[in-house]
Amino acid sequence: MPTPVFLPVGSQATVKTVTPDELKDIGFKMILANTYHLYLRPGIDIIKKLGGLHRFMSWDGAMLTDSGGFQVFSLARLSRVNDDGVTFRSHIDGSEHLITPELCIRLQEEMGADVIMVLDQCPPVQDSIEKVSEATGRTHRWAERCLKAHTRADQHLFGIVQGGFSAELRHASARYLTSLDFPGYAIGGLSLGETKSLTYNMIDETVPLLPADKPRYLMGVGAPDDILNSVSRGIDIFDSVLPTRVARNGGFFTRAGRQNIRNSMWKEIEQPVDPDCSCYTCRNFSAAYVHHLFRCEELLAYRLMTLHKLTFIQDLLKNIRQSILDDTFASFRDGFLSGYRATDEQLRISQKQKWLNTWNRTED
């Protein structure tokens, strides 16, 4: 698969509002689903009984399952962690569960994604260096156990580098994990409400220690400027809920930066949301119509906007891939970024925190 690539997120075995056919039409070849959500509902037994996750959700492209580590620590309630594993209460019904590295791998083997992830401990941004160090050590021991537990040769098990915002811990984590020889490496624990410069700095500290011939996956990052700046730094795989979050407020990315379709400036605009876009929405509807659907909170609004947002991000990645082949990536990136007004950092961080604190979020 040509990289860099962006994976739409389908936590609950559905990329919100859209069908597998629509994802394929836009050009996506790989998506992400989430072990935590699917373990709780409908349960892995049912997915297995129904022929695995690809068949369950009718997706015949490639698929990656996240281990659920991030969700257990950020979404579940009352998680308790020790070296054995992590005990948590479901955010849905409060039931108690214990996930060990071995169980995490078994669940992912039963679902049958093409790429699966190790169980990791993702510490919150505000944790002390001691806590982060402890979590990173545990992540390493779990990674080793995951590797041992993994039996399906047709699945690629990726390691996850942690280490918080310490360059030293990031170095140690990258070194330890690469010594275990995974077929691919993710960088976890970033884009959790820290500044962008800190995110980029941690990527810079990590990527050079990861093998050049194996895919590098930056988890949970998907804003256009972050993707461009991370591709520059050697990242191959991205995922994010940004294009598929069912944002009732109507926000979306454009080449100029963030816009909002609910804004009354769109009320009478006969042109599509983006006249240069070739998505179903922009080919068939005026911006005024999409604005109307948002104002009415019609469900078609979220679907039409999701199609547009996914097309925007897919087009961005397509252009990045082409510019790399043409050896013009740096000028493409600089051209894009010069016209792009990034979201205000304070606003972005406060929105991220608000989202991380949402109990019933189901999007990653």
State the alpha helices, DSSP H only, in 296-328.
Answer: 299-325
Contact between 303 and a second copy by CB under 8 A: the answer reads yes
DSSP letter string, 119-155: ------TT--HHHHHHHHHHHHHHHHHHHHH---TTS
Q: Which residues pair with 64 in a beta bridge?
A: 32, 115
Stretch that binds a second copy, among 75-83, 119-127, 177-185, 279-287 (CB under 8 A): 279-287
To the query of whether residue 114 is one of the catalytic residues in this protein, the response is no
289 binds a second copy (CB under 8 A): yes
DSSP state letter for 89: E
Smaller CB distance to a second copy: residue 12 or 343?
A: 12
Rounded to the nearest 10°, the torsion over CA 245, 246, 249, 252 is: 50
- Residue 41 near a second copy by CB under 8 A: yes
> Considering beta carbons, is residue 16 or 145 the nearer one to a second copy?
16
Contact between 322 and a second copy per CB under 8 A: no
Taking the complex as a whole, how short is the minimal distance between the CB of residue 281 and a second copy, in angstroms? 9
44 near a second copy, rule: CB under 8 A: no
Does residue 265 touch a second copy according to CB under 8 A? no
Which are the contacts of 91, defined by CB distance < 8 A and separation ≥ 6? 40, 75, 76, 77, 359, 360
Size of interface with a second copy, in residues (CB under 8 A): 38
Least CB distance to a second copy at residue 248 (A): 11
Beta bridge partners of 88: 97
Per the CB < 8 A criterion, the answer to whether 326 and 315 are in contact is no
* Residues with active-site annotation: 66, 239
Chain residues in the site for a second copy (CB under 8 A): 12-14, 16-20, 41-42, 46, 49-51, 56-58, 246, 267-268, 270, 280, 284-286, 288-289, 291-293, 295-296, 298-300, 302-303, 362
